[in-house]
Structure 1
Amino acid sequence: MPLVRKWCCEVSEVVLAYSGGLDTSVCIPLLKERYGFDKIVTVLVDVGQPRSDIERGNRRAKVLADEHYIIDAREEFVRDYIFPLIKANGSYEGYVLGTAIARPLIA
């Protein structure tokens, strides 16, 4: 962790790819309290997940984060990721790579 601490001392803001779930929600106070960031900006990327997930993430981020943004990437996700995945018959052990395929876009 020495590298993280050194970097944190030089930077006061951080942007967090945010799902609104437990893991990323816990990251916000951890980044402030343990690593000393002054400002946490969350970004939730909408790739077509249920509306209730987007709303839950939005509510939590408004309470926990200093700034929060939602990016509507549904069209890009389908066009540039899902269609090529289907064309390539992308699967792993018989399961379509639906969840994993969104990660590069979100990053």
Structure 2
Amino acid sequence: MRVYPQVQLALLRSLEDRNRIDEKIYLMTGRSPLARVATLLTHLADTAGIRTPAEPDRITVNGLRQSDITRTLQLGKFAVENVLHRLREQQAIDSRYRQLVVTDPQALERISSTA
């Protein structure tokens, strides 16, 4: 890094971006449960989601449980259930056993930024 200062600068920018993302997801206790869950799901779809070539707008996040969302965002079980139900009604997500499918990433992004 001393030989190539641009590498150090790129690394620092990457770490700062990660910190901002983490703060946006985990430290937004003043926002509504809908906004918090939508932001987390958007992030997971972007980072851990699997797209299928046949349906590129459907992004699958495997291994995710409702209890994981509850603990991660420190929300009540009832609040998370209500939010997931609402997102399913809006056809932004579809959930299955330990699997969540983001069916409308743009809608989820809009919800996370406006709710």
TM-score (norm 2): 0.28
- Larger RCO (CA under 8 A, 6+ residues apart): 2
The structure richer in helix per residue is: 2
The structure richer in strand per residue is: 1
TM-score (norm 1): 0.30
